[in-house]
Amino acid sequence: MSAQVCLIIAISVYLLAMILIGVIFSKGNDDTGDFYLGGRGLSPLVTAMSAEASDMSSWLLMGIPGLAYVSGLADPFWTCLGLAAGTYLNWLFVAKRLRNYTEKIGAITVPEYFSKRYGDKKNILTAVSAVIIVIFFIPYTASGFAACGKLFNTLFGVDYLVAMIASAIIISLYCTLGGFRAVSTTDLIQSICMSIALVIVICFGVRQAGGVDAVIENAKALPGFLSVTNIYDQASGTSSPYSVLTMFSMLAWGLGYFGMPHILVRFMATGDPEKLKISRRVATVWVVLAMGLAIIIGFIGLAMSNAGVIPSLTGSSDAERVIIHISNYMSSFGFLPAIIGGVILAGMLAATMSTADSQLLAAASAISSDLLQDFGGKKFSDDIAVKIAKLTVIIISTISVIIAVDPNSSVFSIVSFAWAGFGATFGPVMLLSLFWKRSNRQGAIAGMVSGTIMVFLWKY
């Protein structure tokens, strides 16, 4: 049996399992509360791993290793440090308060929470929040579809566009069928796959690179590569000082957590708010370990390139495929390594799918529940509302596919734009809504609009 056949079998089993979960949970969505929030019944473990799996996205197994491969330690170190701190603080200060408050006022989406928190009878705040979610989640979802397309294109030579569209269809299918329960359950499974992938790649990669010493020596040979105060430039082969402004800019990634709708809804959906302490500990430990291993994989990939076992990769878009190349190389060693390589690639798919499905649900709820029903004044039966939600998932997926047509788009750059968008627009408003009684509707709207404008001005 050829290596490619083994890879295809392993990945196919994984994808079929995801669809099966969607089918299993398709009968439990009696109303929009079930479809969007799973009836607020998540266990502490599922809450933690669903939140973090939907957080990490393809950025964990593609963005971080690729960034470490081309620029060294500084960029990923300061970014991941900020993210680890942001993860912990979000669970510590926001999770329990948001869970209790949203249940008390009967809110099932983030825009609905803002509207009810500020007594917005005209639902203007709902509309503004929903539009912002759609603006930033569609390119975010598109980055996930693009990552899947790159994966299959690199491995099997399948046309990027065909692979990307097929991946989008599968993600949309189980998301549409099973709703939040299916998404949360698949997130738990996908977080396990991601963890296994990280460990296997490191163990295999270190050996093929010539050992730990070889990995370290290859990194030391490049100026500033292992420094957290200097950054390596791959194009020129030189390093430059890492400015304090850049350092704080990278650390500021952690502030984005306070405004991430697809993470915040996990807090809202947990079954027992008193057990969120367990979720916080599990989530924080997993995030720190996962990001640390992802950085190391970037260094291992560089050593493997220098050893000639995988191609040399230039530029961020190319370097983001480093794990794909390692998995592909592993599959050439026989049947069992090929199956293991398939598990690694399934982990990469998991990283992408666990975020894309959550984003699709959040964007769908913003349109069907917040815009059409709350702001538009349309009242639908539970059955019709769920059908509209599912149709919205399909529409958003289609738009995301159109955006993801360019195979040269960088996962890191797309994710950073969307992340900054949510952090600037929702982060401050969320914190003030939970901790400052005098915050009001006008201030919330002004904060969201100005935050959105600043992100676009900064980007373009």
Query: 371 in helix, strand or coil?
Result: helix
Predicted confidence band at 228 (pLDDT cuts at 50, 70, 90)?
very high
pLDDT of residue 26: 65
Which tens digit of pLDDT belongs to each residue from 97-155? Answer: 999 999 999 888 888 899 999 988 888 888 888 888 888 888 878 878 887 887 778 77
Residue 343 has pLDDT above 90, yes or no: no
Of 255 and 220, which is predicted with more confidence?
220
Predicted confidence band at 410 (pLDDT cuts at 50, 70, 90)?
low
Query: Using CA atoms, how far apart are residues 405 and 144, in angstroms rounded to an integer?
Result: 12
Buried b (16+ CB within 10 A) or exposed e, 191-223: bebbbbbbebbbebbbebbbeeebbeebbeebb
Give the lowest-confidence range in 225-229, 245-249, 312-316: 312-316
Query: Using CA atoms, how far apart are residues 173 and 178, in angstroms rounded to an integer?
Result: 9
DSSP string for residues in 67-117: HHHHH-SHHHHHHHHHHHHHHHHIIIIIIHHHHHHHHHHT--SHHHHHHHH
Give the lowest-confidence range in 201-205, 271-275, 356-360, 431-435: 356-360
pLDDT of residue 329: 87
Q: Could you say which DSSP state residue 168 is in?
A: H
Query: Using CA atoms, how far apart are residues 110 and 295, in angstroms rounded to an integer?
Result: 33
Which tens digit of pLDDT belongs to each residue from 56-90? Answer: 776 788 889 999 999 999 999 999 999 999 999 99
Structure tokens at 443: 């201030």
The mean pLDDT value of the chain amounts to: 84
Residue 30 has pLDDT above 60, yes or no: no
Cβ atoms 379, 161 nearer than 8 A: no
pLDDT of residue 218: 92
Domains by residue range for the chain, with CATH: 3-459 (1.20.1730.10)
Residue 280 has pLDDT above 60, yes or no: yes
Query: Using CA atoms, how far apart are residues 341 and 59, in angstroms rounded to an integer?
Result: 19
Reported as type and span, the H/E element at residue 311 is: none
Predicted confidence band at 291 (pLDDT cuts at 50, 70, 90)?
very high
pLDDT of residue 409: 64
Residue 29 has pLDDT above 60, yes or no: no
- Percent over 90 (pLDDT), the chain: 31
Which has the closest alpha carbon to 244: 252, 255, 254?
252
Which tens digit of pLDDT belongs to each residue from 234-267? Answer: 888 888 999 899 898 888 888 888 988 888 988 9
pLDDT of residue 94: 95
Predicted confidence band at 93 (pLDDT cuts at 50, 70, 90)?
very high
Q: What is the mean pLDDT of residues 276-281?
A: 94
pLDDT of residue 219: 92
Which has the closest alpha carbon to 11: 402, 397, 331?
331
Give the lowest-confidence range in 182-191, 256-265, 396-405: 182-191
Predicted confidence band at 159 (pLDDT cuts at 50, 70, 90)?
confident
Query: Using CA atoms, how far apart are residues 87 and 109, in angstroms rounded to an integer?
Result: 20
The end-to-end CA distance of the chain, in Å, is 50
pLDDT of residue 445: 92
Q: Spell out the alpha helix ranges (H) of 120-159.
A: 124-156
- Integer Rg of the chain from CA: 21
> Is residue 394 classed exposed, middle or buried when 0-12, 13-18 and 19+ CB atoms within 10 A define those classes?
middle
Predicted confidence band at 356 (pLDDT cuts at 50, 70, 90)?
confident
How far, CA to CA in Å, does 291 sit from each of 20, 28, 60, 255, 372?
A: 30, 35, 7, 17, 39
Query: Using CA atoms, how far apart are residues 342 and 155, in angstroms rounded to an integer?
Result: 11
Length in residues, the chain: 460
Could you give phi then psi for residue 305, rounded to 5 degrees?
-65, -45
Query: Using CA atoms, how far apart are residues 140 and 147, in angstroms rounded to an integer?
Result: 11
pTM of the model as a whole: 0.85
Query: Using CA atoms, how far apart are residues 407 and 401, in angstroms rounded to an integer?
Result: 11
DSSP string for residues in 1-27: --HHHHHHHHHHHHHHHHHHHHHHGGG
- Helices and strands counted in the chain (H then E): 20, 2
Query: Using CA atoms, how far apart are residues 136 and 142, in angstroms rounded to an integer?
Result: 10
